[in-house]
Every structure is written in C-alpha cells, then in structure tokens.
Amino acid sequence: MNLARWLEYAGRNRPAAPAVGRGARVLHDYAGLAGRVARLSGALQSSFGLTPGDRVVIAAKNGPDYLETLYAVWHAGLAAVPANAKLHGAELGYILAQSGARLCFASEGLDAEIAAHAPQSLERLIVLGGRDYEKLLASDAAAIVERAPDDLAWLFYTSGTTGRPKGAMLSHRNLAAMSEAYLAEVDSASAGDAILHGAPMSHGSGLYIMAHVMRCGVNVVPESGGFEPEEIFSLLSSWPRASMFAAPTMVKRLVDCAADCPAENIRTIVWGGAPMYVEDALRALDRFGPRLAQIYGQGESPMTITRLTRDDIAARDHPRWRERLASAGRAFACMDVKVAGADGASLPAGESGEILCRGAPVMRGYWNNAEATAQALQDGWLHTGDIGAFDDEDYLFLKDRSKDLIISGGSNIYPREVEEVLLRHPGVREVSVIGRPDREWGEAVVAFVVGEASPAELDALCRSAIARFKRPKDYVFLDALPKNNYGKILKTELRARDAKAAAGRGPGGS
C-alpha cells in the first residue's frame, strides 16, 4: 500500500486531465505530474541513497512543487515531514533534529535560515525550484517502492503552543482512511473538481491533497501562494466547483471581503482547526449559501473525528438548527467517539468529559516519544485533551481544551460559552476568555476583547444570557489577539500577558 499509487493510476488512466493549477492556469496534467514525481523519486534514491522509511522534511510555502515533492517522497518509500514555513529557523532546526531527517526541501529564502540551525544529521538542503532541484527532475524515473499499510507516511508536527511540538506518526493507512472519509461524508469530489490551497499545505489544506488526487481533481495554488480573499474570489471564476479548507479566521475574512464572490462556483468551504462561533457561522451561511461544512479533528486523528455536514448547517427549518450550529456534529462513520470521565467510562448525554476516539485515521503514536504516546493512546483510545458533551442525538458540543477549563468557586466555567455570548455584541470582533488566579475564588474570568464595546454593555449582555458566576470579572481590550501560524488564538500568551500585568500592579492592585 502506497499513497503514490493513486497518482500513478491517474497518470495512466486520465493522462490529459488537469492535475495542478497555479492561479487561473493549468500547470500540469496527470501524465506530466506523475512523470515528474517518478523522476524526482528516482533522484531521491540514486543521488542521495535514501532508503525506505527515511524522513524528508518539506519546509516550504504553498506551491506546485510542494505537491510533486510530497508525492515523490512517498513514491520512493520515504516519509514526509511537512513543516510550517512560518516557523522560526530554530523551530525548524528542532523538527529536523527530532525527526532525524537526512534531506530537507525548502522554499527559496528559507534555506539560509534553516542552514543556520540545521543539525549535523541533515545531509542536504535543496531549494525548491532552484537549479539543483531542476537537475533532480532530469533523473531517470523509478518504480514505486511498495510500503505496508502501517508504514510511516506523514510525520505531522503539532503546532507546539505549549512546549516542544510532537511528531504524530500518520501511516499510509491513516491517510487513506482520512481521504475516503472526507469524500464520503464531507465533500464529494469528481474528476476535474478543484481544491484551492489558500491555507498552509503543511497542515489542514495539504491533508486534502490526497482525496483530490484519488478522484483526479485539480490541486490549485493561488499565484500569491497564500490566502487573499480577493484572489480566492477571482479564482472561483476560473475553477467552478472548487472547494477549500479554511480556519475560522479565514472564513471571517472571506465573509468581510467586499469583492464580488461567484458563490455558485463554490462546491464546499470546509472549516476546522478551531470551532466557529455561531454568529460567524450565520454570517458565512448568509454570504455563501448552503456550501459550508465543518470538521473536528487533530493532528493525531487528522481532520477526522466528527463532522457537521452541509445539510446540518443549511437546515434552517429544523427546530434545533441554531443549536446544532454550535456543535461539532456527529462522529465520522469510521470513528468511535465517546465522552469519558476520569476512569475512561462513557458519560451520559449532557455530561461533560474528555473526548476520546478510535478508528482507522488515528495515529500510530508520537515519533521517538514513548511517554507521550502512552499518555495519548490508552486501551486503543486517543485521549484528545478536549472537553465536550454529546446531546441526545449524538451531536458533539466542544467545550474547551482541558487546560483551558476555568474553575471558580468550585464551579466549572467553559470559556467558549462566555465567548459565544460576548460575540453577540455587534461591536465585538474577536474575544478570548481565560482564568486569572484568584485568592478567594481560585480563578476569576477575564475576557480579552477586540472591538468597540464598553465593559458595562458587555456585562449587561452576560447578565441577560449566562449565570452570574460565569461573567467576566475584568475586560481587557486589545488591538489584536495573539495567534499561531494556523490562526488559533494563543491563550498561553494571554495568560502570560495577564500574569505580567498582575505582577506590575503588585499586591492589592486591580
């Protein structure tokens, strides 16, 4: 079993079908892409002496060469280690060292920074699209190296918002199951359908490459190589029936973009990486119509734990429609998902606990980290670290990360619940709620707000919607919330900022 088989099949059976797009134009058909991959695979084996199982880091911005390099790594029986191009050189150096990669492909401009932090184990650094890279494409084509279903395919490094990132080991079987689940339950794609890679290909967007190759779709990279709402709308005119994966912050930018959007050309906008607040989901639905889907997953179970389908999101006439919009949907058919107490036993509907899952997409474990693997995988279940609750119809409602739970006066407070209320204020653009250490209550609720609203207005809003003990005791107004490279709000930074401010105020300060 080798993921590269899908590309080989497409190259042989649909050679003239468009495979890769750059901006509005077709860059490679499937015959051309398969040929480039086979030649690059040959170079990986003959020029560098890489053997099955060796790791190859791809530290690159979005681009057509990203896709062909990824498939060449698999074609040669190697394991890909996609790394976020926005990471610091020292962070990339850690990934290179921890993965034991012998070879790294990097975007032009990143090579110098990577070289400054490269470990001794790295033997070669190749610039994508550079002279050395083009020489590799002139090599003799190689045959696919067979791999077992559980052999490592993608070493997925977590974003590392707390401590060092861990490498989740995703096998060929994991990624195949994930791709099949996407096509069956989220976004059915056909030959010629496109996916626009505005989000990083090293992360969520790149994980949907395989499903589109499986169906002979077109992987399209914007000319900018990134996410610009006006450019995305323009590309939709050139690529009918296009889908894209986006973080909730990206969906908000699309909604707020004043440019004309040919919404009829959108197949599906899939959001994930963080929950979408209900008010934001409603605005997206009003702007784009019934073309939205949500997935809940982790790097450890990529893109595949639960899904809120297009029908769920568009079902305005359902009596619980708005309530369901606040959920993460139901479990994928290939997954068992439960909400469990501290003993691992399932909790009844309505009770909150840790979300556990098991199924074909779940990782094998963490690379060279037996302790973390033992903590995450227990009795066949992945412990996600997320807190949630099921309703009576098996819709999963995410509360928060277990580390983000606020306990005040012995009562549990889920930041998301408070955030949802605050976002109802028309002047609030973004908000994040944390717990501040409090001598009397244990923790006090603090809201960091981006927008124009007075504390009195926000307090009145909370009094009208949630229990008094859940109301923020303090409001801190910021120009922007700190986020990581994937658009997730960094509550760790907010806690650090709040602690520093408290230390500055000193004893008795407020």
**What does the pLDDT read at residue 467?**
74
Is the pLDDT reported for residue 485 higher than 70?
no
Q: Exposure of 455 by Cβ count < 10 A (0-12 exposed, 13-18 middle, 19+ buried)?
A: middle
- How open is the CA angle 33-138-46, to the nearest 5 degrees? 100
The band of 310, judged by pLDDT with boundaries at 50, 70 and 90, is: very high
Tokens linked to 486: 């994937």
Mean pLDDT of the chain: 92
CATH class of 4-390: alpha beta
CA 138 – CA 46 distance, rounded (Å): 12
Does residue 68 contact residue 219 with C-beta atoms inside 8 Å?
A: no
Query: Domain locations in the chain?
Result: 4-390, 405-505
- The answer to whether residues 460 and 452 touch, using CB atoms and an 8 Å cutoff, is no
Lowest mean pLDDT among 282-291, 363-372, 478-487: 478-487
Q: Tens of pLDDT along 319-336?
A: 999 999 999 999 999 999
Residue 453 has pLDDT above 80, yes or no: yes
**Domain with residues 405-505, CATH architecture:** 2-Layer Sandwich (3.30)
Q: State mean pLDDT over 436-460.
A: 91
Structure tokens at 322: 């708005």
| Three-state secondary-structure class, residue 340 | strand
37-67 residue pLDDT tens: 999 999 999 999 899 999 999 999 999 999 9
Would the CA dihedral through 32, 36, 38, 39 be positive or negative?
A: positive
Kindly report, residue by residue over 356-382, the tens digit of the pLDDT: 999 999 999 999 999 999 999 999 999
pLDDT at residue 509 is higher than 50: no
Domains 4-390 and 405-505 share a fold: no
Contact 83, 95 (CB under 8 A): yes
Phi and psi torsions of 443, nearest 5°: -145, 145
Tokens (6 digits) for 326: 């606040």
CA proximity to 273, closest of 255, 291, 252, 299: 299
Give backbone dihedrals phi and psi of 91, rounded to 5 degrees, phi first: -70, -40
